[in-house]
Structure 1
Amino acid sequence: MSTPPTPPADPGRILVVGRSPGVLVATVDILRAKGYTTDATNQFDRVLDDYDVAGLDVLVFGGMVPADTKQYLREEVSRRNPRVSIVQGLAGIAGVIAAQVEAAGSEQRDDPAGVEIAYDEARRCVQLVLKESAHVTVEALWATSFTPPEPRSTSMQVFDGALGAGFHVVPLPDQVPSEASYATVAVDDLVRVFTVGAMPDAVTRMAPRSADDTRLPEVDRVTTTGDDHGRGVGR
Protein backbone atom coordinates (compact mmCIF):
# COMPACT_ATOMS: atom_id res chain seq x y z
CA MET A 1 0.00 0.00 0.00
CA SER A 2 1.32 3.44 -0.89
CA THR A 3 1.85 6.18 1.67
CA PRO A 4 1.28 9.95 1.44
CA PRO A 5 4.14 11.88 -0.18
CA THR A 6 6.92 13.38 1.87
CA PRO A 7 8.85 16.58 1.03
CA PRO A 8 12.03 16.18 -1.00
CA ALA A 9 15.29 16.05 0.95
CA ASP A 10 16.19 19.57 -0.18
CA PRO A 11 12.94 21.42 -0.85
CA GLY A 12 14.74 24.63 -1.74
CA ARG A 13 14.51 28.34 -0.97
CA ILE A 14 11.31 30.14 -1.96
CA LEU A 15 10.42 33.84 -2.09
CA VAL A 16 6.87 34.97 -2.74
CA VAL A 17 6.46 38.58 -3.88
CA GLY A 18 2.84 39.62 -3.72
CA ARG A 19 0.47 42.15 -2.24
CA SER A 20 -2.20 40.72 0.07
CA PRO A 21 -0.84 40.26 3.63
CA GLY A 22 -3.13 37.41 4.57
CA VAL A 23 -2.39 35.43 1.41
CA LEU A 24 1.37 35.95 1.78
CA VAL A 25 1.48 34.84 5.41
CA ALA A 26 -0.77 31.84 4.77
CA THR A 27 1.41 30.76 1.82
CA VAL A 28 4.54 30.98 3.95
CA ASP A 29 2.89 28.89 6.68
CA ILE A 30 1.80 26.19 4.23
CA LEU A 31 5.19 25.88 2.53
CA ARG A 32 7.20 25.99 5.73
CA ALA A 33 5.01 23.22 7.14
CA LYS A 34 5.97 21.16 4.08
CA GLY A 35 9.67 21.73 4.74
CA TYR A 36 10.37 24.57 2.32
CA THR A 37 12.55 27.50 3.35
CA THR A 38 10.07 30.22 2.45
CA ASP A 39 9.72 33.97 2.83
CA ALA A 40 7.29 36.51 1.44
CA THR A 41 7.16 40.26 1.00
CA ASN A 42 4.97 43.03 -0.36
CA GLN A 43 7.76 45.59 -0.12
CA PHE A 44 8.60 45.51 -3.82
CA ASP A 45 11.34 48.13 -3.69
CA ARG A 46 13.15 46.23 -0.92
CA VAL A 47 13.31 42.75 -2.49
CA LEU A 48 16.90 43.00 -3.70
CA ASP A 49 18.08 44.51 -0.41
CA ASP A 50 16.19 42.30 2.03
CA TYR A 51 16.75 38.91 0.40
CA ASP A 52 19.66 36.92 -0.99
CA VAL A 53 18.10 36.40 -4.42
CA ALA A 54 21.23 34.64 -5.67
CA GLY A 55 20.35 31.75 -3.36
CA LEU A 56 16.72 31.38 -4.41
CA ASP A 57 15.34 28.28 -6.10
CA VAL A 58 11.85 29.62 -6.84
CA LEU A 59 10.60 33.21 -7.12
CA VAL A 60 6.82 33.64 -7.18
CA PHE A 61 5.00 36.78 -8.33
CA GLY A 62 1.47 37.62 -7.30
CA GLY A 63 -0.96 39.02 -9.83
CA MET A 64 -1.11 42.46 -8.21
CA VAL A 65 2.62 43.19 -8.42
CA PRO A 66 2.97 46.21 -10.76
CA ALA A 67 3.93 45.11 -14.26
CA ASP A 68 7.04 47.28 -14.49
CA THR A 69 8.22 46.19 -11.03
CA LYS A 70 7.71 42.56 -11.93
CA GLN A 71 9.69 42.94 -15.14
CA TYR A 72 12.57 44.68 -13.37
CA LEU A 73 12.77 42.08 -10.60
CA ARG A 74 12.46 39.23 -13.07
CA GLU A 75 15.40 40.54 -15.08
CA GLU A 76 17.55 41.47 -12.09
CA VAL A 77 17.01 38.25 -10.15
CA SER A 78 17.63 36.18 -13.28
CA ARG A 79 20.84 38.10 -13.91
CA ARG A 80 22.09 37.37 -10.41
CA ASN A 81 20.71 33.83 -10.34
CA PRO A 82 20.29 32.21 -13.79
CA ARG A 83 19.06 28.93 -12.28
CA VAL A 84 16.08 30.43 -10.47
CA SER A 85 12.60 29.23 -11.46
CA ILE A 86 10.13 32.09 -11.81
CA VAL A 87 6.46 31.32 -11.24
CA GLN A 88 3.50 33.57 -11.98
CA GLY A 89 0.86 32.97 -9.33
CA LEU A 90 -2.49 31.99 -10.78
CA ALA A 91 -4.60 33.49 -8.00
CA GLY A 92 -4.56 35.12 -4.58
CA ILE A 93 -5.21 31.73 -2.98
CA ALA A 94 -2.50 30.46 -0.65
CA GLY A 95 -3.15 26.80 -1.40
CA VAL A 96 -2.86 27.38 -5.14
CA ILE A 97 0.38 29.33 -4.79
CA ALA A 98 1.90 26.68 -2.53
CA ALA A 99 0.91 23.94 -4.99
CA GLN A 100 2.48 25.93 -7.83
CA VAL A 101 5.73 26.00 -5.89
CA GLU A 102 5.56 22.24 -5.36
CA ALA A 103 4.79 21.79 -9.05
CA ALA A 104 7.78 23.92 -10.02
CA GLY A 105 10.01 21.67 -7.94
CA SER A 106 8.57 18.45 -9.32
CA GLU A 107 8.83 19.71 -12.90
CA GLN A 108 12.59 19.93 -12.45
CA ARG A 109 12.67 16.17 -11.91
CA ASP A 110 11.82 13.57 -14.49
CA ASP A 111 8.19 12.43 -14.28
CA PRO A 112 7.90 8.86 -13.06
CA ALA A 113 7.60 6.52 -16.03
CA GLY A 114 4.01 5.72 -16.84
CA VAL A 115 2.47 8.61 -14.86
CA GLU A 116 0.20 10.99 -16.75
CA ILE A 117 -1.86 13.75 -15.15
CA ALA A 118 -4.34 15.80 -17.15
CA TYR A 119 -7.46 17.91 -16.70
CA ASP A 120 -10.39 17.48 -19.06
CA GLU A 121 -11.98 20.93 -19.22
CA ALA A 122 -15.11 19.83 -21.07
CA ARG A 123 -15.88 17.01 -18.61
CA ARG A 124 -14.49 18.84 -15.55
CA CYS A 125 -12.48 15.89 -14.39
CA VAL A 126 -8.90 14.95 -13.55
CA GLN A 127 -7.55 12.07 -15.61
CA LEU A 128 -4.71 9.89 -14.37
CA VAL A 129 -2.64 7.11 -15.89
CA LEU A 130 -0.59 5.18 -13.34
CA LYS A 131 1.92 2.46 -14.09
CA GLU A 132 1.77 1.26 -10.49
CA SER A 133 -0.12 2.00 -7.29
CA ALA A 134 0.36 5.52 -5.95
CA HIS A 135 -1.07 7.88 -3.34
CA VAL A 136 -3.23 10.47 -5.07
CA THR A 137 -4.74 13.66 -3.72
CA VAL A 138 -7.02 16.00 -5.64
CA GLU A 139 -8.10 19.31 -4.13
CA ALA A 140 -10.34 22.03 -5.55
CA LEU A 141 -9.82 25.65 -4.52
CA TRP A 142 -11.73 28.75 -5.55
CA ALA A 143 -12.14 32.43 -4.76
CA THR A 144 -15.18 33.54 -2.78
CA SER A 145 -14.44 37.28 -2.68
CA PHE A 146 -12.22 39.47 -4.85
CA THR A 147 -12.29 42.58 -2.65
CA PRO A 148 -8.77 43.99 -2.22
CA PRO A 149 -6.55 43.93 -0.32
CA GLU A 150 -7.65 40.57 1.12
CA PRO A 151 -9.29 38.20 -1.36
CA ARG A 152 -11.10 35.26 0.20
CA SER A 153 -11.21 31.65 -0.88
CA THR A 154 -12.27 28.19 0.12
CA SER A 155 -11.32 24.63 -0.79
CA MET A 156 -12.50 21.06 -0.67
CA GLN A 157 -10.73 17.73 -0.79
CA VAL A 158 -12.01 15.82 -3.77
CA PHE A 159 -9.95 12.65 -3.38
CA ASP A 160 -7.25 11.37 -1.05
CA GLY A 161 -6.15 7.78 -1.17
CA ALA A 162 -4.33 5.01 -2.98
CA LEU A 163 -5.10 4.17 -6.61
CA GLY A 164 -3.86 1.12 -8.46
CA ALA A 165 -2.18 0.94 -11.82
CA GLY A 166 -4.33 1.94 -14.77
CA PHE A 167 -6.56 4.78 -15.98
CA HIS A 168 -8.57 6.76 -13.44
CA VAL A 169 -11.07 9.62 -13.65
CA VAL A 170 -11.75 11.96 -10.71
CA PRO A 171 -14.69 14.27 -11.44
CA LEU A 172 -14.96 17.66 -9.75
CA PRO A 173 -18.14 18.20 -7.71
CA ASP A 174 -20.79 20.58 -9.04
CA GLN A 175 -20.18 23.02 -6.20
CA VAL A 176 -16.77 23.90 -7.63
CA PRO A 177 -17.58 27.08 -9.59
CA SER A 178 -16.63 27.72 -13.20
CA GLU A 179 -14.93 31.01 -12.32
CA ALA A 180 -11.71 31.67 -10.37
CA SER A 181 -11.32 27.99 -9.53
CA TYR A 182 -8.39 25.59 -9.57
CA ALA A 183 -7.51 21.95 -9.04
CA THR A 184 -4.30 20.65 -7.51
CA VAL A 185 -3.25 17.05 -8.09
CA ALA A 186 -0.48 15.12 -6.34
CA VAL A 187 0.63 11.65 -7.36
CA ASP A 188 3.07 10.77 -4.61
CA ASP A 189 5.47 13.77 -4.82
CA LEU A 190 4.56 14.77 -8.39
CA VAL A 191 2.33 17.87 -8.27
CA ARG A 192 0.31 19.60 -10.98
CA VAL A 193 -2.01 22.63 -10.86
CA PHE A 194 -4.87 23.21 -13.29
CA THR A 195 -7.15 26.18 -13.92
CA VAL A 196 -10.77 25.06 -13.77
CA GLY A 197 -12.32 28.50 -14.24
CA ALA A 198 -10.33 31.58 -15.21
CA MET A 199 -10.12 34.68 -13.05
CA PRO A 200 -12.74 37.30 -14.07
CA ASP A 201 -11.52 40.09 -16.34
CA ALA A 202 -12.72 42.63 -13.78
CA VAL A 203 -10.16 41.23 -11.34
CA THR A 204 -7.22 40.94 -13.72
CA ARG A 205 -7.83 44.54 -14.84
CA MET A 206 -7.14 45.69 -11.27
CA ALA A 207 -3.47 44.71 -11.62
CA PRO A 208 -1.31 47.87 -11.47
CA ARG A 209 0.53 48.68 -14.68
CA SER A 210 3.29 50.56 -12.87
CA ALA A 211 4.63 51.32 -9.41
CA ASP A 212 2.95 54.73 -9.68
CA ASP A 213 -0.49 53.18 -10.11
CA THR A 214 -2.25 53.84 -6.78
CA ARG A 215 -5.75 52.55 -7.54
CA LEU A 216 -5.51 49.73 -5.01
CA PRO A 217 -5.80 50.45 -1.25
CA GLU A 218 -2.77 50.46 1.00
CA VAL A 219 -1.89 47.21 2.75
CA ASP A 220 -0.06 46.21 5.92
CA ARG A 221 3.64 45.60 5.40
CA VAL A 222 4.80 42.00 5.12
CA THR A 223 8.50 41.12 5.19
CA THR A 224 9.18 37.67 6.59
CA THR A 225 12.72 36.64 7.38
CA GLY A 226 14.08 33.25 8.32
CA ASP A 227 11.98 31.13 10.69
CA ASP A 228 9.72 33.93 11.95
CA HIS A 229 6.54 32.03 11.05
CA GLY A 230 5.19 34.95 9.05
CA ARG A 231 5.42 37.41 11.94
CA GLY A 232 7.32 40.12 10.06
CA VAL A 233 4.11 42.05 9.51
CA GLY A 234 3.33 45.68 10.24
CA ARG A 235 2.59 49.08 8.88
Structure 2
Amino acid sequence: MLLDAVGLLRAKGFQADATNQFDEVLTAYDTTGLDVVVFGGMVPANAKQHLREAISAGNDHVTFVQGLAGIAGLIAAQVESVTSAAPDDNADGVAYDTKQRAVRLTLREPARVVVEAWWATSFTPPEPASTSLRLVDSHFGPGEHVVPLPADVPTVASFVTASVGAAVHAFTVGAMPAAVRRMAPTGAPGEPPALPPVKPVATHTER
Protein backbone atom coordinates (compact mmCIF):
# COMPACT_ATOMS: atom_id res chain seq x y z
CA MET A 1 0.00 0.00 0.00
CA LEU A 2 2.82 2.43 0.87
CA LEU A 3 4.58 1.74 -2.42
CA ASP A 4 1.33 2.13 -4.35
CA ALA A 5 0.71 5.50 -2.68
CA VAL A 6 4.21 6.69 -3.57
CA GLY A 7 3.73 5.54 -7.16
CA LEU A 8 0.43 7.40 -7.50
CA LEU A 9 1.85 10.61 -6.06
CA ARG A 10 4.96 10.50 -8.23
CA ALA A 11 2.77 9.90 -11.30
CA LYS A 12 0.92 13.10 -10.37
CA GLY A 13 4.21 15.05 -10.29
CA PHE A 14 4.97 14.99 -6.56
CA GLN A 15 8.32 14.17 -5.02
CA ALA A 16 7.03 11.52 -2.64
CA ASP A 17 8.49 8.93 -0.30
CA ALA A 18 7.11 6.59 2.31
CA THR A 19 8.51 4.61 5.22
CA ASN A 20 7.31 2.39 8.01
CA GLN A 21 10.60 2.81 9.85
CA PHE A 22 9.43 5.57 12.16
CA ASP A 23 12.62 5.69 14.25
CA GLU A 24 14.69 6.52 11.15
CA VAL A 25 12.62 9.37 9.70
CA LEU A 26 14.72 12.16 11.19
CA THR A 27 18.03 10.65 10.09
CA ALA A 28 17.08 9.11 6.74
CA TYR A 29 15.22 12.12 5.30
CA ASP A 30 15.81 15.86 4.98
CA THR A 31 12.77 16.98 6.91
CA THR A 32 13.57 20.68 6.42
CA GLY A 33 12.35 20.46 2.83
CA LEU A 34 9.11 18.61 3.44
CA ASP A 35 5.82 20.25 2.51
CA VAL A 36 3.42 17.53 3.67
CA VAL A 37 3.74 14.66 6.15
CA VAL A 38 0.96 12.07 6.21
CA PHE A 39 0.67 9.86 9.28
CA GLY A 40 -0.90 6.45 8.91
CA GLY A 41 -3.28 5.16 11.52
CA MET A 42 -0.75 2.63 12.81
CA VAL A 43 1.93 5.18 13.65
CA PRO A 44 2.28 5.00 17.45
CA ALA A 45 0.89 8.06 19.20
CA ASN A 46 4.16 8.91 20.92
CA ALA A 47 6.14 8.56 17.67
CA LYS A 48 3.66 10.83 15.90
CA GLN A 49 3.97 13.51 18.57
CA HIS A 50 7.77 13.30 18.58
CA LEU A 51 7.96 13.59 14.79
CA ARG A 52 5.55 16.54 14.73
CA GLU A 53 7.65 18.44 17.24
CA ALA A 54 11.02 17.54 15.73
CA ILE A 55 10.05 18.29 12.13
CA SER A 56 8.27 21.53 13.03
CA ALA A 57 11.32 22.77 14.93
CA GLY A 58 13.28 23.02 11.68
CA ASN A 59 10.46 23.48 9.18
CA ASP A 60 7.81 26.16 9.66
CA HIS A 61 5.90 25.47 6.45
CA VAL A 62 5.19 21.74 6.77
CA THR A 63 1.59 20.55 6.87
CA PHE A 64 0.73 17.43 8.88
CA VAL A 65 -2.14 15.25 7.68
CA GLN A 66 -3.77 12.34 9.46
CA GLY A 67 -4.38 9.64 6.88
CA LEU A 68 -7.99 8.50 6.78
CA ALA A 69 -7.20 4.90 5.86
CA GLY A 70 -4.55 2.65 4.36
CA ILE A 71 -5.87 3.14 0.83
CA ALA A 72 -3.28 4.38 -1.65
CA GLY A 73 -5.63 6.45 -3.82
CA LEU A 74 -7.21 8.06 -0.79
CA ILE A 75 -3.82 9.01 0.62
CA ALA A 76 -2.88 10.60 -2.71
CA ALA A 77 -6.17 12.52 -2.73
CA GLN A 78 -5.51 13.83 0.78
CA VAL A 79 -2.11 15.10 -0.33
CA GLU A 80 -3.68 16.76 -3.35
CA SER A 81 -6.25 18.34 -1.06
CA VAL A 82 -3.64 20.24 0.96
CA THR A 83 -1.25 21.05 -1.88
CA SER A 84 -3.53 22.42 -4.58
CA ALA A 85 -2.03 25.77 -5.60
CA ALA A 86 -5.19 26.84 -7.40
CA PRO A 87 -7.93 28.43 -5.31
CA ASP A 88 -11.31 26.75 -5.37
CA ASP A 89 -12.73 29.46 -7.65
CA ASN A 90 -15.41 27.30 -9.20
CA ALA A 91 -17.12 26.12 -6.05
CA ASP A 92 -19.07 27.96 -3.40
CA GLY A 93 -19.44 24.74 -1.47
CA VAL A 94 -18.40 21.09 -1.55
CA ALA A 95 -19.71 18.97 1.31
CA TYR A 96 -20.74 15.46 2.23
CA ASP A 97 -24.32 15.10 3.45
CA THR A 98 -24.23 12.29 6.01
CA LYS A 99 -28.02 11.92 6.25
CA GLN A 100 -28.55 11.69 2.49
CA ARG A 101 -25.24 9.88 1.81
CA ALA A 102 -24.50 12.28 -1.00
CA VAL A 103 -21.91 14.82 -2.10
CA ARG A 104 -23.41 18.29 -2.53
CA LEU A 105 -21.75 20.87 -4.77
CA THR A 106 -22.51 24.48 -5.50
CA LEU A 107 -20.68 25.74 -8.59
CA ARG A 108 -20.36 29.34 -9.66
CA GLU A 109 -18.80 28.40 -12.99
CA PRO A 110 -18.62 25.27 -15.18
CA ALA A 111 -16.02 22.83 -13.94
CA ARG A 112 -14.86 19.25 -14.32
CA VAL A 113 -16.08 17.26 -11.32
CA VAL A 114 -14.71 13.87 -10.28
CA VAL A 115 -16.32 12.01 -7.38
CA GLU A 116 -14.87 8.71 -6.21
CA ALA A 117 -15.75 6.38 -3.33
CA TRP A 118 -13.15 4.30 -1.48
CA TRP A 119 -13.60 1.56 1.09
CA ALA A 120 -11.76 -1.21 2.87
CA THR A 121 -12.55 -4.78 1.88
CA SER A 122 -10.28 -6.55 4.35
CA PHE A 123 -8.74 -5.63 7.69
CA THR A 124 -6.42 -8.62 7.88
CA PRO A 125 -3.07 -7.31 9.13
CA PRO A 126 -0.55 -6.27 8.19
CA GLU A 127 -1.66 -5.33 4.66
CA PRO A 128 -5.19 -3.92 4.25
CA ALA A 129 -7.19 -4.44 1.09
CA SER A 130 -9.55 -1.95 -0.52
CA THR A 131 -11.48 -1.02 -3.61
CA SER A 132 -12.88 2.11 -5.19
CA LEU A 133 -15.68 3.24 -7.47
CA ARG A 134 -15.69 6.33 -9.66
CA LEU A 135 -19.16 7.83 -9.40
CA VAL A 136 -18.78 10.91 -11.57
CA ASP A 137 -16.25 12.23 -14.07
CA SER A 138 -17.98 14.95 -16.02
CA HIS A 139 -18.25 18.67 -16.64
CA PHE A 140 -20.95 20.26 -14.50
CA GLY A 141 -22.57 23.61 -15.15
CA PRO A 142 -23.14 26.35 -12.59
CA GLY A 143 -25.66 25.66 -9.85
CA GLU A 144 -26.51 23.01 -7.29
CA HIS A 145 -25.56 19.39 -7.85
CA VAL A 146 -26.06 16.24 -5.79
CA VAL A 147 -24.09 13.02 -6.27
CA PRO A 148 -25.61 10.17 -4.21
CA LEU A 149 -23.53 7.24 -3.04
CA PRO A 150 -24.78 3.84 -4.23
CA ALA A 151 -25.65 1.09 -1.79
CA ASP A 152 -22.42 -0.70 -2.77
CA VAL A 153 -20.50 1.78 -0.62
CA PRO A 154 -20.56 0.31 2.91
CA THR A 155 -21.33 2.21 6.10
CA VAL A 156 -17.96 1.42 7.72
CA ALA A 157 -14.39 2.11 6.61
CA SER A 158 -15.60 4.10 3.64
CA PHE A 159 -14.69 7.48 2.21
CA VAL A 160 -15.46 9.77 -0.70
CA THR A 161 -13.34 12.31 -2.57
CA ALA A 162 -14.63 15.11 -4.77
CA SER A 163 -12.49 17.25 -7.04
CA VAL A 164 -13.72 20.45 -8.62
CA GLY A 165 -11.11 21.54 -11.10
CA ALA A 166 -7.81 21.44 -9.21
CA ALA A 167 -9.36 21.47 -5.73
CA VAL A 168 -9.75 18.11 -3.99
CA HIS A 169 -11.92 17.34 -0.96
CA ALA A 170 -11.92 14.15 1.12
CA PHE A 171 -14.68 13.04 3.47
CA THR A 172 -15.34 10.11 5.77
CA VAL A 173 -18.53 8.20 4.94
CA GLY A 174 -18.21 5.45 7.55
CA ALA A 175 -15.59 5.40 10.30
CA MET A 176 -13.10 2.59 10.73
CA PRO A 177 -14.42 -0.21 12.98
CA ALA A 178 -13.53 0.10 16.66
CA ALA A 179 -11.68 -3.23 16.50
CA VAL A 180 -9.35 -1.81 13.86
CA ARG A 181 -8.81 1.44 15.75
CA ARG A 182 -7.81 -0.56 18.82
CA MET A 183 -4.96 -2.12 16.82
CA ALA A 184 -3.19 1.24 16.66
CA PRO A 185 -0.19 1.08 19.02
CA THR A 186 0.31 3.82 21.58
CA GLY A 187 4.03 3.22 21.83
CA ALA A 188 3.80 2.80 25.60
CA PRO A 189 6.71 0.88 27.19
CA GLY A 190 6.00 -2.82 27.37
CA GLU A 191 3.01 -2.62 25.06
CA PRO A 192 2.66 -5.92 23.18
CA PRO A 193 2.65 -5.65 19.38
CA ALA A 194 -0.88 -5.48 17.99
CA LEU A 195 0.22 -6.34 14.45
CA PRO A 196 2.48 -9.02 12.99
CA PRO A 197 5.95 -7.97 11.77
CA VAL A 198 5.98 -6.16 8.45
CA LYS A 199 8.57 -5.91 5.72
CA PRO A 200 10.61 -2.71 6.08
CA VAL A 201 9.68 -0.03 3.54
CA ALA A 202 11.71 3.12 2.97
CA THR A 203 11.75 4.84 -0.43
CA HIS A 204 14.07 7.67 -1.36
CA THR A 205 13.65 10.22 -4.14
CA GLU A 206 16.58 11.86 -5.89
CA ARG A 207 16.14 15.59 -5.33
Band the TM-score falls in, shorter-chain normalisation: over 0.9
Runs of 4+ in 1 over 6 A off after TM superposition: none
AA paired with 2:25? V
Determine which of 166, 173, 176 is the counterpart of 1:189.
Answer: 166
> 1:54 maps to what in 2?
32
Matches of 1:26 and 1:113 in 2, distance apart? 31
Determine which of 157, 175, 195 is the counterpart of 1:216.
Answer: 195
2:184·2:194 contact (CA, 8 Å) conserved in 1? no
The aligned runs of 1:151-170 (5 Å cut-off) are 151-170=128-147
Percent of aligned positions that are identical: 57
Matches of 2:13 and 2:142 in 1, distance apart? 29
Q: Give the superposition deviation at 1:67.
A: 0.8
Q: Deviations over 1:84-131 (max 9, x none)?
A: 00000011111111111011113x764316431011000000000111
SS in 2 for 1:41: coil
1:130·1:167 contact (CA, 8 Å) conserved in 2? yes
| Unaligned 5+ runs, structure 1 | 1-22, 228-235
**Structure-2-length-normalised TM-score:** 0.95
> 1:198 maps to what in 2?
175
- What is the total number of aligned residue pairs between the two structures? 204
Matches of 1:189 and 1:113 in 2, distance apart? 10
1:84 aligns with 2:62: yes
1:37 aligns with 2:37: no
Change (3 A) 1:180 1:29: same
The CA RMSD over aligned residues, in Å, is 1.3
Q: Deviations over 1:203-231 (max 9, x none)?
A: 0010001065422111001010116xxxx
| Unaligned 5+ runs, structure 2 | none
The aligned runs of 1:1-235 (5 Å cut-off) are 23-106=1-84, 110-112=87-89, 114-210=91-187, 212=189, 213=191, 214-226=193-205
1:69·1:211 contact (CA, 8 Å) conserved in 2? no
